[in-house]
């Protein structure tokens, strides 16, 4: 790692296929961060098992996600790129941090409450401990910045609290990380219920556009997107959540500004507008999908990349963990 650069950490769970919400909220920016930061990117498979997964599917999703990262411009030679479960320090650090985290804090987490409702038959310890594992991920690499969607803000705040708590209880050990949130696109919403975030594990898959959706599917889903009845294409997330969500998607995929997009659709009907959004998204997804497939077909290459990544990650993570073990009083032979 280069000494003079700040460290940036992010991870995505290999649950299901990613949505364009994940893409816009995180993945599309990752390639551009690689020149300015020491980037550490992970496939968070240990987080994924906090809700039930089919083992074969989880394995396949992990490889597919790795290929997608690379297809989106993540260069394994420029960053540290690995699978979370390949680096045992994450579980170990999580355990150390657990003893500095209160049950009440975890019970108050919005995501825990949401997921407990959605998976009422499986409210497990891992689900509750999810934010501490995330803190372990981030703090192990002495991370300065964490780019995530707005849904992760609360988890980042608790990471900061835990870091400060540890530093105060022992002595300065962890860098206290900052979040980076995009202004437009930090929260892409469900096409059928624009008050909810678009999620890869949503109940109705027609509200989410998956990175693997083909052209017809993308266009069909956008055609059915919920808007409103005033036939006016303006960015106003509070009063026009459906239209604003489509505009946010359109501007990020077309590279146009919000003003430009509003002018372009001035006086047009919702039908034309939805078709235009569908077409630009389908156009942009096609080359990414082709590249992802090419990489996935080369299993040996992917396995090599992930083995190297885990080794690189381990060296940094172990160093931080050893410091922590020393400070908390574990006898070191
Ligand atoms: P799940 O439905 O399995 O909980 P998810 O779709 O919420 O998954 P995560 O794996 O939890 O996705 O998140 C990966 C990254 O994508 C995170 O940084 C998160 O902030 C971002 N993200 C997720 N959904 C959105 C969204 N709708 N808009 C913007 N960013 C998002
Ligand atoms: N919980 C995250 C995924 C994640 C993560 C992280 C993000 C796991 N560890 C560390 C940033 C930093 C999510 O995006 N849902």
Give per-residue pLDDT as tens, 109-136: 999 999 999 899 999 999 999 999 999 9
From ligand 1's centre to the CA of 115, what distance in Å? 13
183 pLDDT above the threshold of 80: no
Name the closest-CA residue to atom 14, ligand 2: 12
Q: How far apart are CA 53 and CA 36, in angstroms?
A: 36
Q: What is the dihedral of CA 214, 257, 196, 202, to 10 degrees?
A: 20
Phi, psi of 100 (to 5 degrees): -110, 10
Residue 116: C-alpha distances to residues 72, 109, 280 (Å): 33, 11, 36
Q: Residue 186's pLDDT band (boundaries 50, 70, 90)?
A: confident
Can you give the pLDDT at residue 184?
A: 64
Mean pLDDT of 269-290: 97
Q: Is the beta carbon of 44 within 6 A of some atom in ligand 2?
A: yes
Q: How far apart are CA 207 and CA 193, in angstroms?
A: 7
From ligand 2's centre to the CA of 251, what distance in Å? 25
27 pLDDT above the threshold of 90: no
To test the ligand 1 pocket, which listed residue (22, 138, 190, 202) has its Cβ within 8 A of the most ligand atoms? Answer: 22
Q: String of b and e for 234-253 (b: at least 16 CB within 10 Å)?
A: ebebeebbbbbbbbbbbbbb
From ligand 1's centre to the CA of 149, what distance in Å? 7
Ligand in nearest proximity to the CA of 58: 1
Give per-residue pLDDT as tens, 192-207: 999 999 988 888 999 9
Instruction: Find the radius of gyration of the CA atoms of the chain.
Output: 21
Give per-residue pLDDT as tens, 203-241: 899 999 999 999 999 999 999 999 999 999 999 999 999
**Nearest atom, ligand 1, residue 189 CA:** 27
57 pLDDT above the threshold of 90: yes
Q: Is the beta carbon of 50 within 6 A of some atom in ligand 1?
A: no
Q: Is the beta carbon of 94 within 6 A of some atom in ligand 2?
A: no
32 burial via Cβ count (<10 Å: 0-12, 13-18, 19+): exposed
The structure tokens listed for 72 are 């989106």
Catalytic residue numbers read 115, 197, 200
Q: What is the dihedral of CA 216, 222, 224, 226, to 10 degrees?
A: 170
The set of residues, in sequence order, having a beta carbon less than 8 Å from that of 311 and lying 6+ positions away, is none
pTM: 0.91
Give per-residue pLDDT as tens, 288-304: 999 999 999 999 999 99
**Nearest atom, ligand 1, residue 202 CA:** 2
């Amino acid at each position: 790692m280069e000494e003079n650069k700040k460290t940036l950490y992010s991870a995505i769970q290999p649950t299901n296929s990613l949505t364009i919400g994940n893409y816009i909220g995180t993945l599309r920016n990752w390639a551009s961060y690689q020149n300015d930061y020491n980037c550490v990117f992970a496939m968070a498979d240990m987080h994924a098992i906090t809700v039930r997964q089919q083992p074969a599917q989880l394995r396949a999703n992990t490889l597919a996600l790795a290929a997608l990262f690379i297809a989106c411009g993540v260069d394994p030679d420029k960053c540290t790129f690995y699978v979370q479960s390949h680096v045992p320090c994450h579980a170990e650090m999580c355990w150390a941090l657990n003893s500095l985290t209160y049950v009440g804090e975890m019970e108050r987490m919005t995501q825990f409450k949401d997921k407990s409702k959605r998976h009422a038959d499986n409210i497990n310890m891992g689900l509750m401990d999810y934010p501490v594992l995330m803190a372990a991920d981030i703090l192990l690499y002495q991370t300065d910045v964490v780019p995530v969607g707005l849904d992760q803000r609360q988890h980042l705040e608790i990471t900061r609290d835990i870091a400060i708590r540890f530093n105060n209880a022992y002595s300065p050990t962890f860098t206290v990380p900052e979040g980076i949130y995009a202004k437009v696109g930090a929260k892409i919403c469900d096409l059928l219920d624009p008050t909810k975030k678009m999620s890869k594990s949503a109940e109705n898959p027609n509200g989410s556009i998956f990175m693997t959706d083909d052209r017809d599917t993308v266009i069909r889903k956008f055609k059915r997107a919920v808007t409103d009845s005033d036939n006016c294409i303006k960015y106003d997330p509070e009063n026009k959540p459906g239209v604003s969500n489509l505009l946010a998607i359109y501007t990020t995929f077309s590279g146009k500004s919000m003003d430009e997009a509003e002018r372009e659709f001035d006086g047009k009907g919702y039908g034309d507008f939805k078709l235009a959004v569908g077409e630009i998204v389908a156009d942009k997804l096609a080359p990414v999908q082709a590249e992802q497939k090419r990489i996935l077909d080369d299993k040996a290459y992917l396995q090599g990349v992930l083995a190297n990544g885990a080794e690189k990650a381990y060296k940094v993570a172990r160093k931080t963990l050893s410091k922590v073990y020393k400070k908390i009083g574990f006898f070191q032979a």
